[in-house]
Structure 1
Amino acid sequence: MNYPYESVVVNEEVPVFLLMTTVKYVAMHWHDRIEFLLVLKGKVRVYVGREDYILHENDLLLINSNEIHGVESDEDNTILIVQIPISFMKKCYKKIEQERFKCQSFLHENQQQFDEIRTLLTQLCLTVKEKKESYDLKVHSFLLDIIYHLVTNFKVKNHHELKQTSKKNIERMNRITDYIEKNYTHPLTLDEVAETEQLTPPYLSRYFQQHMGQTFLKYLNGIRLEHALHYLLETDLPIIQIAMECGFTNLNTFHKLFKDTFHTTPYQYRKNQTKSFPTPRRNREGTEGYEFVEESDLRYLYKYLEKDKNR
């Protein structure tokens, strides 16, 4: 797919996916990258497997590669997203695929090690955006520093105790989520999806809960909500038509789910968000990319550089 901003493209010269954006709802997904989320403003809820965390301003969270996660927020926010492909990290640290990292700043009082990561992420972001001559060399330098800090300060020693998703399960979940993405506009059922995988519905139900951290219905409704947000902000379609386009059986069901998630009605949400950035939206399956609207105000980042000077 084509990204609207060059800075978010992963390529050989700049092997990083990076941007600042506002997030309202991103359904559960995964990718072969290590991801940092740094909250610059507001509050977001992040789901990682069966865990969920409330992140406030300055909170930093690392999500390991192929770790299933999603994000939602019902208030104004700005977050910095930085993803480093495992393929790049493997070139400088061959054991990266066997390692797991735990970087959750909100669980610790001592913030020194987290401040070092925050500063590096800030410097990385500004370098990518400024694009000075030979900036790709500086990008690689920051990425190597980040990897060094991860390996020395945030590596999980007993990582074999952590559940890691196998390649076989990743492939199956890709097929399942891809099928849901292609058919969410229809009255899709667990039985129908189970049949495509030649599984019994009870087995698929348990499998989905185990690997996605939520029920099949919750995930399906999350996909529908994700698309509904896009229609609300990017089109003038009537709300009842949006509900039907996104696979909701009736307007009341759409209203209830929307209000339970965002604590407002679809009409009020559209009215209040006209001057805000739309949420990033997944393009297709669990390992694919996103469509983003990028935040251009870099003032949020400078405080981390000031903090670094004062250390």
Structure 2
Amino acid sequence: MKYPYESVVVNEEIPMFMLMTSVKYVAMHWHDRIEFLFVLKGRIHVFVGRDEYFLQEDDLLLINSNEVHGVESSEDNKLIVLQIPVSLIKKWYKNIENETFHCQSFQSVEQARFDEIRSLIAQLMLFSRNKMDGYEVKIHSLLLDIVYKLLCNFRVKNNVQLYRNSKKDIERLTRITSYIQQNFMHPLTLNEIAENEQLTVPYLSKYFQQHMGQSFVKYLNGIRLEHAVRTMLESDWPIIQIAMESGFSNLNTFHKLFKETFHSTPYQYRKKQSYKAISIRQKKKGVEGYQYHEEEDLNYLNKYLLFSE
């Protein structure tokens, strides 16, 4: 599945994706990469399968490859997103696809092992930005050190793979979610998708809830909301037109979902975000997107470097 923040090309010499950013809304999705969310400021709401987490400053969360997850936030925040492809790790550790890691700093009193990961991620961000001579070697070294720490300190020993979908499930879910993303602007029912997949509606409803961590309707509305937010920030269309173009049956449904997610009306949100967007464009910094805005303020990383050797 493709999302705007994944559109950045991963350099063949530096096989990772890394971004310091603020997040607004990302619908449920998955990928074949191990992902870290490292919060530097504010709070974010993260969904992993059927679990929900509220992360705040200093919190670190690892999302295993092929775990379905999504993120949303109604307040200012700043975080680092780091994705390490499983294909990279496999070059040095063949069994990586069979491993599961549990790295959730907010569920632990003892923080030393998490501080090591925080420091490595902070160093990784600095070296990737400074690009001094030989930085590619250092980045590879830091990536492998992170993987080594995971294997030593965060491996799930009984290898329980919660919410990680099989290859067959991924193929089916890819077909279903791709169809939804291509048709969300039209009236779309579970019956239609069940017919396409040659499944009964009750079975598909249960299957979708189990593997996506949310109901079909909630996922569909999330995709519609993503489109609406993007259109609000990239156009001057009236709110009612945006709601209709995004597939919502009426303005009241759109307003209710929007307020539940962002704790403000669409009009208030657009006004606030438009002001921020103007400021960002004036500074000519970062990569703009409707839910991710890259930042270049690296001062947040200084305190985490204290843990490095």
With normalisation by structure 2, the TM-score equals 0.92
Matched position secondary structure for 2:23? coil
For 2:71 and 2:28, the matched residues in 1 are separated by: 8
Q: How does 1:39-78 map to 2 (within 5 A)?
A: 39-78=39-78
Confirm or deny: 8 A CA contact 2:119 2:306 kept in the other structure.
Answer: no
Instruction: State the match for 2:224 in structure 1.
Output: 224
Shift of 1:307: 4.6
| Code of the aligned partner of 1:171 | E
Deviation at 1:244, TM superposition (A): 0.9
Structure 2 CA distance for partners of 1:18 and 1:249, relative to 1, 3 Å: same
Show the counterpart of 2:38.
38
Per-residue CA shift, 1:147-194, capped at 9, x if unaligned?
A: 100000000000146453110000000000000000000011111111
CA distance in 2, matches of 1:3, 1:24: 13
Q: 1:38 to 1:276 in 2, by over 3 A?
A: farther
8 Å CA contact retained: 2:67, 2:163: no
Q: Is the 8 A contact 2:68 2:164 kept in 1?
A: no
CA contact (8 A) 2:41 2:77 kept: yes
Residues 5 and 179 (structure 1), Cα distance of their counterparts in 2 relative to 1, 3 Å cut: closer
Q: Which amino acid aligns with 1:33?
A: R
Which residue identity lines up with residue 244 of structure 2 in the other structure?
Answer: M
Contact 2:239 2:266 in 1 (8 A): yes
What's the Cα RMSD here?
2.1
Shift of 1:114: 0.3
**Residue 299 of structure 1: aligned partner:** 299
Summarize the Cα distance change of 1:216–1:279 in structure 2 as closer, same or farther, 3 Å threshold. farther
* Corresponding residue of 2:173: 173
Structure 1 residue 142, shift from structure 2 partner = 0.3
SS in 2 for 1:228: helix
In 2, the alpha carbon distance for the partners of 1:2 and 1:262 equals 20
Shift of 1:236: 1.2
User: Partners of 1:118 and 1:275 in 2: how far apart?
Assistant: 32
> Which residue pairs with 1:235 in the alignment?
235
Pick closer, same or farther for the CA change 1:223–1:88 going to 2, 3 Å: same
- Is 2:24 aligned against 1:24? yes
Give the partner amino acid of 2:74: D
Aligned length: 299
The CA distance in 1 between the partners of 2:49 and 2:87, in whole Å, is 23
Structure 1 SS opposite 2:113? helix
Deviation at 1:295, TM superposition (A): 1.2
Instruction: Give the residue type in structure 1 aligned to 2:129.
Output: K
Letter in 2 for 1:164: R
- Identify the range of structure 1 (174-183 vs 257-266) with the bigger mean alpha-carbon deviation: 257-266
Q: Which moved more, 1:154-163 or 1:87-96?
A: 154-163
CA distance in 2, matches of 1:2, 1:170: 17
- Structure 1 residue ranges (4+ consecutive) displaced by more than 6 angstroms after TM superposition: 1-6
CA contact (8 A) 1:5 1:294 kept: no
Residue 242 of structure 1 deviates from its aligned partner by: 0.7
SS in 1 for 2:12: coil
**Deviation (angstroms), 1:292:** 4.4
* Displacement of 1:33: 0.1
Q: For 1:204 and 1:217, how far apart are their aligned partners in 2?
A: 12
In structure 1, C-alpha distance between the alignment counterparts of 2:181 and 2:3, rounded to whole Å: 19
1:253 paired to 2:253:
yes
Show the counterpart of 2:212: 212
Instruction: Give the match for residue 86 of structure 1.
Output: 86
The aligned residue for residue 133 of structure 1 is 133
Q: Distance in 2 between matches of 1:150 and 1:5?
A: 23
1:196 aligned residue: 196
Aligned to 1:120: 120
Tell me the amino acid that sits aligned with residue 172 of structure 1. Answer: R
Query: Where does residue 282 of structure 2 map in the other structure?
Result: none
> Is the partner of 2:94 in helix, strand or coil?
coil
Q: Aligned pair in 2 of structure 1 residues 71, 161: CA closer, same or farther (>3 Å)?
A: closer
8 A Cα contact 2:33 2:85, kept in partner: yes
**Structure 1 residues not aligned, in runs of 5+:** 282-290
Q: Which moved more, 1:163-172 or 1:174-183?
A: 163-172
Q: C-alpha distance in 1, partners of 2:5/2:96?
A: 31
Give 1:133 shift. 2.1
1:29-82 deviations in Å (ceiling 9; x for gaps): 000000000001100010000101000100000000000000011111111000
Structure-1 separation of matches of 2:48 and 2:271: 31
1:21 to partner: Cα distance: 1.0
Residues 103-150 of structure 1: CA deviation (Å, up to 9, x unaligned): 000011111000000000011111111122221111100001001000
Instruction: Call closer, same or farther: CA 1:162–1:295 in 2, change over 3 Å.
Output: same
Structure 2: how far apart are the matches of 1:301 and 1:68? 28
Cα shift at 1:280: 5.4
Amino acid at match of 1:266: P
Deviations 1:233-252 (A, max 9, x none): 12111111110111001111
For the 8 Å contact 1:27–1:70, the answer to whether it is kept is: yes
Unmatched runs of 5 consecutive residues or more in structure 2: 278-286
Structure 2 contact 45–72 (Cα < 8 Å) conserved:
yes
